[in-house]
Amino acid sequence: DVKVTQSSRYLVKRTGEKVFLECVQDMDHENMFWYRQDPGLGLRLIYFSYDVKMKEKGDIPEGYSVSREKKERFSLILESASTNQTSMYLCASSTFSGRASGWYFGPGTRLTVL
């Protein structure tokens, strides 16, 4: 089974703090993604990475950065957290490999910025 884990299930931070969200996958997938999910807006892609040290902006990259130093680990960084970044953050990894093809999500981190 594909396993994607995220460092925290719930996180509360103050406005202006630097926030690190970490994601680890154990299936040797090349591609990793960070989404946020908000009521009424659905899932929106923040950043993705198709290889170590490679990154591409998604639909809403403003206020975020990412780091991928190892294949299995993909970090999302909020440089200076703001209240409008309160959301559910979902990490995913993906493969196109026969029956296992698809995007696989971690359990999510519910971030509250006060």
Partner 1 sequence: QKEVEQNSGPLSVPEGAIASLNCTYSDRGSQSFFWYRQYSGKSPELIMFIYSNGDKEDGRFTAQLNKASQYVSLLIRDSQPSDSATYLCAVNRGGSNYKLTFGKGTLLTVNP
Q: How many CB atoms neighbour CB 83 within 10 A? A: 9
With CB under 8 A as the contact rule, the residue among 68, 87, 108, 111 that binds partner 1 is: 108
We find the least distance from the C-beta atom of residue 14 to partner 1, in angstroms, to be: 24
Strands 10-13 and 109-113: parallel
Is there binding between residue 77 and partner 1 (CB under 8 A)? no
* Residue 11 backbone class (left: φ over 0; alpha: ψ -120 to 50; beta: rest): beta
Q: What is the DSSP letter of 32?
A: E
Task: Choose between 20 and 50: whose C-beta lies nearer to partner 1.
Answer: 50
User: Which contacts qualify for 52-59: CB closer than 8 Å, 24 or more apart?
Assistant: 58/33, 58/34
With CB under 8 A as the contact rule, the residue among 42, 53, 62, 83 that binds partner 1 is: 42
We find the least distance from the C-beta atom of residue 2 to partner 1, in angstroms, to be: 9
We find the least distance from the C-beta atom of residue 47 to partner 1, in angstroms, to be: 11
Structure tokens at 14: 């103050």
Residue ranges in contact with partner 1 by CB under 8 A: 31, 33, 40-43, 45, 48, 50, 56, 58, 90, 94, 96, 101-108
